[in-house]
Each structure stands twice: as C-alpha cells, then as structure tokens.
Amino acid sequence: MEINEQTVRALVQRSHRGPKDLTLTTDHHRPTPGPDEYLVRVGVAGVNFADVMQSHGTYGGGPRAPYVAGFEAAGEIVGGGAGVDRPLPVGTHVVGAGRGAFAQYMTMPAAGVLPVPSGWSAAQALGLVLNWATALAALKPLGEIRTGEVVLVHAAAGGVGQAAVRLARHYGARVVATASPAKHDTVTALGADEVLDSRRADLAAEIMRLTGGVDLVLESVGRATFEVSLSVTKPFVGRVVVFGAASGDASLNTYDLVFTHQVQVMGLHIGALATAAPSVYASLLVELETLIADGVYPPGSPQVHPLADGPAVLRDLEAGLTRGKHALDPWR
Ligand SMILES: NC(=O)c1ccc[n+]([C@@H]2O[C@H](COP(=O)([O-])OP(=O)(O)OC[C@H]3O[C@@H](n4cnc5c(N)ncnc54)[C@H](OP(=O)(O)O)[C@@H]3O)[C@@H](O)[C@H]2O)c1
C-alpha cells in the first residue's frame, strides 16, 4: 500500500507538567515499524486515564518528554516490520495498544493487536484491549467473582468502570458502584444495584449498612477510596484488586494486613499480565470474544473529538468531568 504522508499530525507532550504541555504538531515524521510491529493508519485513538498519568511523568515505564502521546487506537494495518509471526494482511482493521497513538500513524507491537470485531467501526472497538480486558481480568482470573457475591466498583461511570459494572452483573453479582452524583444515572442504567457518591464522608458506613461486607472490590481510585475499600471487604475471604490510583497513591503495610485489614490484595496491570501470564491473557481474549458474540459486550459509543481537543479532553478526564469513553480523530 502506498502511503502519501511522510509527515503527520500528532499530539506531542513537551514536558511532564500535564496536559497543558500537550501540543498539536503537523510535521511529525511518520514512524517506521520495527521488528514484530505493525504500522497502523490510526482511525481513532482512545483516551485513557493512563494518558493523564503519563502527561505528568507518573506512568510506570512511560516515555520521557518530548514524545507523541496516546496508548490506544483502532485503525488499519498499512505495513509491518520484520519477524511478525503469522502476520495479519495489510488492510486488516485492528484495535490495539502501543506508543504514540495520538497521531495519524503509529506502530503497534503485533502481539497486542486484535482484529476489530466483525461489523464494528474503529471507534466502536476502542476499549477492547484496555478497558474491557482490564475489567474482566480484575473480576475473573484475579477476583474470582462468583454468583451472588457483592462487588464494589469505584469510578463506575468511567471507561473501565462501565465495563466492570456490565460484566459483574453478567456474572451474577450484586453491584455496589461509586461515582460522582452527576454520573449516577449512567451507572444505574448499566444495571448497578446501588450507586453511591464516592466523595461522601460516610461511604464505608453506608456500604456496610447496605451489604454487611463486600466480597470483591475493583479499586482504581487510590488515595480517596483505598481505606474505604479495605474496611468494607470481608476479612479473609474478601479480595481487593488494585489497578489504578486516579486520586493519587495510597499505601498499605504489613501491620495493616496483620492487625487491621485481613483481606486479599492483588495488583493488576493488563500489559504486564499479557507479558507475564500469556495463557491467562489468552483466556481473557477468548472470553471477550464470547461476550461480544453473546451481546454482553456491545459495540462501544465513545465521544470522538478532533485531535486538537486532546489537551482539553485530558484535562476533563483528570478533573473527573468525563463519563464513559472518549476518543480523538487524528484526521480532523
Ligand atoms: N492497571 C491497568 O492495566 C489499567 C488499565 C486501564 C485502566 N486502568 C486504571 O483504571 C482507572 C480507570 O481508567 P479510565 O481510563 O477508565 O478512566 P475513567 O474511569 O474514565 O476516569 C477516572 C475516574 O476516576 C474517578 N475519580 C475518583 N476520584 C478522583 C480524583 N480524586 N481525581 C480524578 N478522578 C477521580 C472519576 O470518576 P467519578 O467522577 O465518578 O468519581 C474519574 O472520571 C484509572 O485509575 C486507570 O489508571 C488501569
């Protein structure tokens, strides 16, 4: 396939001072795929909380500024580097993760790329490898969710949170969700049994009053909710899966685990899981395929913004002003 663009539009992060130093450039050089990578013409790029963290330089293992921002995209394979095992043909529409997604072209490690589900658009496929795979990993292989259990999902109106609420209900759990009050209608519509304001002072007492104790917590807010999560989890049998800290980091020490919160705490990073436990990750992908076929996982409906609006979208995500999935179109 002939590609005309040698220079492309991209959002470049120029410092670690946050989204305010994310700027649009029109003369970024189109990347060249390395070994085991595809070159992808980005149709639409997904916005994730990880982008906010990375803009502050706090995402573990992330690049140092300046760099082209963005982690996730869906688009069309237009080329490939050497050594890709059983390569997908040029022209295949894929969704995946890699560096530099907020641009018209990016490279993606071939191992992390999935075909866009049949009949879905690029935008509808966003969220598959980050939001849904993360929510599923937290609930199933790590959280070992069981029918009838009580599951607490924080930031339930967000990208991962919405997937988690749908999945937890599908697996037969009673879902207690937290979100900002302005987003409660969204979470209720997804089927959550109770929706609480994550910032209310008596959050732990209210969860205990409603449930008597929680079996599984999906913890992604960190400092603002971690103590509540630990205190409402059933001792010994309860599990807390930690996969984010949108409000900042919280800490837990050996004394806490021995004398105060005798709960099972697990960490999750979906990229690390794919690398360190490939068979577990492969089982997630098989399950996601089934969930799509069964309609449990519907096509996504992200709000798509022009690329130049990326800094404002990241600022809103950081401030907790967004709900659901947001995306950037690098061609407008
Ligand atoms: N470990 C992994 O592999 C992995 C993968 C994907 C995502 N994640 C993590 O999962 C979480 C959700 O990611 P997402 O992209 O779907 O983002 P998101 O949930 O759409 O956005 C973050 C949400 O966190 C909530 N929040 C609560 N307290 C906050 C505070 N003090 N400051 C800012 N936000 C606060 C806000 O919801 P309310 O306004 O409703 O409170 C906000 O909308 C993030 O922590 C992210 O880092 C981890």
Is the pLDDT at 3 greater than 80, yes or no?
no
Same domain for 264 and 148, yes or no, is yes
Digit-coded pLDDT (tens) for 239-252: 999 999 999 999 99
Our count of domains for the chain comes to 2
Spatial neighbors of 245 by CB under 8 A, at least 6 apart, are 220, 221, 222, 223
Residue 101 maps to a domain: yes
Please say which residue of 254, 272, 290 terminates a domain.
Answer: 272
Same domain for 248 and 136, yes or no, is yes
Is the pLDDT at 2 greater than 80, yes or no?
no
Please say which residue of 253, 272, 291 terminates a domain.
Answer: 272
Residue 177 maps to a domain: yes
Same domain for 206 and 188, yes or no, is yes
Q: Which atom of ligand 1 is found nearest the CA of 243? A: 1
> 208 alpha carbon to ligand 1 midpoint, in Å?
23
Measured by CA distance, the residue closest to atom 9 of ligand 1 is 244
Phi-psi region of 248 (alpha: psi -120 to 50; beta: other; left: phi over 0): left
Helical H segments across the chain, by residue range: 49-55, 122-125, 133-137, 159-170, 184-189, 203-211, 226-232, 254-255, 270-276, 278-293, 310-318
Residue 295 maps to a domain: no
Same domain for 73 and 179, yes or no, is no
**What one-character-per-residue DSSP string does 189-248 give?**
HTT-SEEEETT-TTHHHHHHHHHSSBSEEEE-SGGGTHHHHHHHBPTTT-EEEE---TT-
Q: Phi then psi for 206, rounded to 5 degrees?
A: -70, -40
Same domain for 104 and 153, yes or no, is no
Chain centroid offset of residue 168 CA: 16
Residue 91 maps to a domain: yes
Residue 247 neighbours by CB distance under 10 Å: 18
**Mean pLDDT for the chain?**
96
210: confidence class by pLDDT, cuts 50, 70, 90: very high
Q: Which atom of ligand 1 is found nearest the CA of 325? A: 20
pLDDT value at residue 245:
97
Same domain for 260 and 305, yes or no, is no
β-partners of residue 214 are 233
159 ligand 1 Cβ < 6 A: yes
Same domain for 228 and 162, yes or no, is yes
Measured by CA distance, the residue closest to atom 30 of ligand 1 is 247
- Ligand 1 probe mutation, 128, 221, 313, most atoms within 8 A of CB: 221
Same domain for 313 and 186, yes or no, is no
Q: Which atom of ligand 1 is found nearest the CA of 48? A: 15
> 190 alpha carbon to ligand 1 midpoint, in Å?
17
Digit-coded pLDDT (tens) for 253-280: 999 999 999 999 999 999 999 999 999 9
Residue 29 maps to a domain: yes
Q: What is the arithmetic mean of pLDDT over 6-16?
A: 95
Residue pair 304/324 in contact by the 8 Å Cβ criterion? no
Digit-coded pLDDT (tens) for 164-190: 999 999 999 999 999 999 999 999 999
Give the CATH number for residue 115.
Answer: 3.90.180.10
Same domain for 138 and 267, yes or no, is yes
Calpha distance 127→104 (Å, rounded): 19
Calpha distance 33→107 (Å, rounded): 6
228 ligand 1 Cβ < 6 A: no
pLDDT value at residue 6:
87
- The domain containing residue 43 runs over which residues? 7-126+300-329
Residue 291 maps to a domain: no
> 1 alpha carbon to ligand 1 midpoint, in Å?
39
DSSP SS3 for 171 = coil
243 ligand 1 Cβ < 6 A: yes
> 326 alpha carbon to ligand 1 midpoint, in Å?
13
Digit-coded pLDDT (tens) for 104-150: 999 999 988 999 999 999 999 999 999 999 999 999 999 999 999 99
Same domain for 137 and 104, yes or no, is no
> 188 alpha carbon to ligand 1 midpoint, in Å?
18
